[in-house]
């Protein structure tokens, strides 16, 4: 017991002594647009480095009185700055006018300088993603990468996005191939955008050729954030925002006066379709703004936190996130909302001087309540309803504001003593909201383990095992209510509950050799194999 106690005291003493000889320099890193988060800084000629936090702040250890910091960030010119111990410093980066000096990922972990790449490759970095505040990573590609089309097929929060790199394709599908840290995945809905370091888009046939037929529709390579070795201290980042969303532009639909004008003109010219409404009757009718009634101001919030760092032979990154968004239609009623919770871990260490192991784990829970907006065959086409109902119909019963006003093909619809025309096979969208009950819950696990053997300085062998599993429970309720007749057609409704299980395993093994004595020329050779299996 005394021996163990002596060792512990000695270890603490050595740690304190070692820290006494190292001094820190702290500062802030900015650009013309403000602080830069996630920027790598390294002491020139050493393995000591760190990364700026969300506010652009950093702290790095120095082993001498002065040192040179090398600051590099995608889209900005690399800068070398002389620093002195215990003297705070502010570093400003300038946007690079020559983007050809950027480094891009071209597949299977291989990188190249952009000026050496002759194929169509686009890059979106972490700073660009953080400025957009998107719920799904694919949305960050819209407007930031030329030649990429992102289409939102539904206004429901968390709804799938359609991404096209080459337009509509022919064989199999049109969606691009998604790879996250080298792992093939069906989509990016499980990723927290704040966990992404960069997205590299391989758009043409030449750039995606290394992936064969799988890359026929283009490839999107996603790199997630990792820790930094030799960090002076752990870097803790908290990124949060809360906002509100509302309808920016409404369609120019007929108001009460315009509709009544057309209605009276029709009835006057077509006898037998009812009498024209009198001024007294018109005064008794409401002037309902259906878009104003249906669309609400709803909240959206995001919280992401991470801690990262590392020592001489290891690095780590642990992050967690919570995203919640309510839909502008039915969001406050719990009928349309999207929630994503995730925890992500990355750890790498040198087992020996030549062998490195990297482990990654991502646990995600996604819940989504959604509406049938314009889906045929269900009778619940909410947006078709709101676009078709005249303004002279009230949203709620004049005698009970909690009950949606009934309308449809039935005769004798009366408001404040005024008989209204029938509106056909449409219904009050608020009634559709009440009887809608659709929910999807997904539990997603993504894991990988990677081993790298550095045989020589120029030759290395890498083996990686990936595992991805998605269990999704989907519930859809379709009532037997006939919206056009405003009644139930029978006593049985339809409840469909489906469990989807998608399991993907992948093994990559490759060897790469870098020819280092070619002067101004670069030559890398990569050979390997990939085994991929999907079970669903």
Q: Is residue 312 part of a domain?
A: no
Quote the number of domains for the chain.
Answer: 2
Cα(23)–Cα(34) distance, integer angstroms: 27
If asked whether residues 161 and 62 sit together in one domain, one would say no
Write out the H or E segment, with its range, that includes residue 397: strand 396-397
If asked whether residues 104 and 216 sit together in one domain, one would say yes
Interior/surface letters 271-285, b for 16+ CB within 10 angstroms, e for the rest: eeeeeebeeebbeeb
Q: What is each CA distance from 218 to 64, 120, 215, in whole angstroms?
A: 49, 10, 5
Q: Is residue 164 part of a domain?
A: yes
Q: Can you give the pLDDT at residue 476?
A: 86
Give the CA count within 13 Å in the CB-facing half-sphere of 520: 1
Q: Is residue 253 part of a domain?
A: no
Q: Can you give the pLDDT at residue 16?
A: 37
If asked whether residues 168 and 72 sit together in one domain, one would say no
Both tokens assigned to 43: 């002491």
If asked whether residues 197 and 176 sit together in one domain, one would say yes
Q: What is each CA distance from 411 to 110, 298, 480, in whole angstroms?
A: 70, 37, 21
Q: Among 165, 197, 224, where does a domain finish? A: 224
If asked whether residues 143 and 83 sit together in one domain, one would say no
Q: Can you give the pLDDT at residue 104?
A: 58
Q: Among 263, 292, 289, 290, which Cα is nearest to 277's?
A: 263
Cα(428)–Cα(385) distance, integer angstroms: 7
Q: What is the DSSP string of 102-113?
A: -EEEEETTEEEE
What are the backbone dihedrals phi and psi of residue 410, each rounded to the nearest 5 degrees, phi first?
-65, 155
Cα(418)–Cα(290) distance, integer angstroms: 20
Q: Among 155, 419, 487, 442, which Cα is nearest to 278's?
A: 419
What is the 3-state composition of the chain as percent helix, strand, coil, each rounded to the nearest 5? 15, 45, 40
DSSP category for residue 445: E
- Which residues, 6 or more positions from 260, have their beta carbon under 8 angstroms from its beta carbon? 277, 282, 285, 392
Q: What is the DSSP string of 105-164?
A: EEETTEEEEGGG--S-EEEEEHHHHHHH--SSGGGGGTTTSTT-EEEE---STT--EEEE
Q: What pairs with residue 509 in β-bridges?
A: 463, 529
Give the CA count within 13 Å in the CB-facing half-sphere of 377: 2
If asked whether residues 104 and 183 sit together in one domain, one would say yes
Q: What pairs with residue 356 in β-bridges?
A: 350, 452
Q: Is residue 139 part of a domain?
A: yes
Q: Is residue 173 part of a domain?
A: yes
Q: What is the DSSP string of 259-292?
A: HHHHHHHHHHHSTTS-PPPPHHHHHHS----HHH
Q: What pairs with residue 256 in β-bridges?
A: none
Cα(155)–Cα(369) distance, integer angstroms: 12
Cα(493)–Cα(495) distance, integer angstroms: 7
Count other Cβ atoms within 10 Å, centred on residue 478.
18
- Which residues, 6 or more positions from 495, have their beta carbon under 8 angstroms from its beta carbon? 475, 476, 477, 478
How far is C-alpha 424 from the chain's CA centre?
A: 40
How far is C-alpha 250 from the chain's CA centre?
A: 27
Q: Is residue 28 part of a domain?
A: yes
> How far is the first Cα of the chain from the last one, in angstroms, to the nearest whole number?
56
If asked whether residues 114 and 218 sit together in one domain, one would say yes
CATH of the domain at 87: 2.60.40.1120
Q: Can you give the pLDDT at residue 108?
A: 65
If asked whether residues 130 and 163 sit together in one domain, one would say yes
If asked whether residues 104 and 194 sit together in one domain, one would say yes
Place of tokens 């120029």: 458
Cα(128)–Cα(124) distance, integer angstroms: 6
Q: Among 60, 92, 124, where does a domain finish? A: 92
pLDDT tens-digit series, residues 194-213? 999 988 888 777 667 777 77
Total number of residues shown for the chain: 536
Q: Can you give the pLDDT at residue 408?
A: 62
Q: Can you give the pLDDT at residue 14?
A: 36
How far is C-alpha 135 from the chain's CA centre?
A: 5
3 state SS of 311: coil
If asked whether residues 86 and 109 sit together in one domain, one would say no
Q: Can you give the pLDDT at residue 82?
A: 87
If asked whether residues 141 and 159 sit together in one domain, one would say yes
Q: What is the pTM of this model?
A: 0.77
pLDDT tens-digit series, residues 393-433? 999 988 888 888 877 666 668 888 898 887 777 778 888 78
Cα(512)–Cα(525) distance, integer angstroms: 5
Q: Is residue 403 part of a domain?
A: no
Q: Domain range holding 155?
A: 99-224
Q: Among 92, 120, 152, where does a domain finish? A: 92
What are the backbone dihedrals phi and psi of residue 115, each rounded to the nearest 5 degrees, phi first?
-70, -15
If asked whether residues 85 and 106 sit together in one domain, one would say no
CATH of the domain at 149: 2.170.130.10
Q: If DSSP states are collapsed to H, E and C, what string results for 339-356?
A: EEEEEEEEEEEECCCCEE
Q: Is residue 117 part of a domain?
A: yes
Q: Please report the sign of the dihedral spanned by the C-alpha atoms of residue 392, residue 248, residue 194, residue 470.
A: positive
Mean pLDDT, the chain cut into blocks of 10 residues (536 residues total): 38 37 76 82 80 83 83 79 86 68 59 54 82 87 84 84 72 77 90 91 74 82 90 87 91 93 93 90 94 93 94 94 94 90 96 95 95 63 85 89 75 82 80 84 96 92 95 85 65 82 92 82 84 86
Q: What pairs with residue 126 in β-bridges?
A: none
């Amino acid at each position: 017991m005394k021996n163990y106690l002596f060792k512990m005291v000695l270890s603490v003493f050595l740690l304190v002594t070692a820290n006494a000889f190292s001094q820190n320099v702290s500062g802030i890193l900015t650009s013309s647009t403000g602080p830069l988060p996630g920027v790598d800084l390294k002491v020139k000629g050493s393995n000591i480095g760190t990364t700026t936090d969300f506010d652009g702040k950093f702290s790095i250890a120095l082993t001498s009185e002065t040192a040179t910091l090398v600051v590099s960030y995608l889209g900005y010119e690399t800068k070398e700055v002389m620093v002195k111990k215990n003297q705070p410093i502010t570093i400003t980066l300038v946007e690079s006018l020559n983007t050809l000096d950027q480094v891009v990922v071209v597949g299977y972990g291989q990188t190249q300088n952009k000026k050496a790449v002759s194929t169509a490759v686009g890059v979106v970095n972490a700073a660009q993603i953080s400025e957009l505040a998107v719920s799904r990573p694919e949305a960050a590609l819209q407007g930031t990468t030329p030649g990429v089309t992102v289409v939102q097929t539904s206004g429901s929060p968390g709804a799938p996005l359609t991404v096209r790199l080459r337009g509509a394709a022919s064989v199999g599908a049109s969606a691009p191939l998604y790879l996250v840290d080298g792992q093939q995945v069906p989509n990016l809905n499980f990723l927290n955008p704040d966990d992404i370091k960069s997205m590299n888009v391989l758009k043409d046939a030449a750039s995606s050729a290394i992936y064969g037929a799988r890359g026929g529709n283009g490839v999107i390579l996603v790199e997630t954030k990792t820790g930094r070795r030799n960090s002076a201290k752990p870097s803790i980042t908290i990124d949060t925002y809360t906002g509100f969303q509302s309808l920016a532009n409404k369609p120019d639909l007929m108001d009460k006066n315009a509709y009544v004008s057309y209605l009276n003109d029709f009835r006057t010219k077509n006898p037998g379709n009812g009498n024209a409404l009198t001024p007294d009757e018109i005064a008794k009718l409401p002037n309902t703004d259906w878009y104003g009634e249906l669309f609400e101001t709803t909240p959206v919030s995001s919280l992401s936190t991470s801690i990262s760092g590392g020592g001489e032979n290891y690095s780590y990154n642990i992050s967690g996130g919570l995203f919640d968004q309510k839909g502008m239609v039915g969001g406050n009623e719990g009928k349309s909302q999207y929630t994503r919770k995730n925890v992500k871990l990355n750890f790498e260490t040198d087992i020996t001087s030549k062998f490195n192991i990297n482990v990654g784990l991502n646990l995600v829970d996604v819940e989504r309540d959604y509406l049938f907006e314009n889906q045929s065959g269900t009778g619940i086409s909410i947006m078709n309803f709101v676009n078709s109902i005249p303004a002279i119909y009230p949203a709620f019963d004049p005698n009970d504001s909690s009950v949606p006003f009934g309308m449809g093909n039935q005769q004798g619809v009366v408001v404040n003593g005024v008989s209204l025309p029938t509106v056909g096979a449409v219904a009050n969208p608020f009634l559709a909201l009440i009887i809608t009950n659709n929910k999807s819950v997904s539990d997603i696990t993504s894991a990988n383990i990677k081993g790298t053997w550095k045989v020589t300085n120029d030759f290395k062998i890498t083996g990686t095992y990936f595992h991805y599993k998605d269990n999704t429970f989907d519930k859809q309720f379709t009532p037997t209510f006939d919206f056009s007749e405003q009644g139930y057609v029978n006593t049985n409704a339809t409840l469909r509950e489906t469990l989807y299980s998608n399991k993907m395993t992948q093994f990559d093994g490759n060897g790469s050799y870098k020819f280092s004595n070619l002067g101004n020329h670069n030559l890398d050779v990569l050979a390997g194999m990939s085994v991929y299996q999907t079970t669903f």
